[in-house]
Amino acid sequence: QVQLVESGGGLVQAGGSLRLSCVVSGSIFGINVRGWYRQAPGKQRELVASITSGGSANYADSVKGRFTISRDNAKNTVYLQMNSLNPEDTAVYSCNARSKLWSSWGQGTQVTVSS
Q: What is the DSSP string of 55-111?
A: --EEE-TTTTTTEEEEEEGGGTEEEEEE-S--GGG-EEEEEEEE-SS-EEE---EEE
Q: Which residues of the chain have pLDDT under 70?
A: none
Which pLDDT does position 29 carry in this prediction? 82
According to the model, what pLDDT value does residue 81 have?
Answer: 98
Query: What's the confidence (pLDDT) of residue 3?
Result: 93
d(CA 67, CA 18): 10
Q: How far apart are CA 84 and CA 18, in angstroms?
A: 9
pLDDT at 31: 87
Q: How far apart are alpha carbons 64 and 27 in whole angstroms? A: 31
pLDDT at 30: 85
Q: Rounded distance, CA 50 to CA 56, Å? A: 8
pLDDT value of residue 96: 97
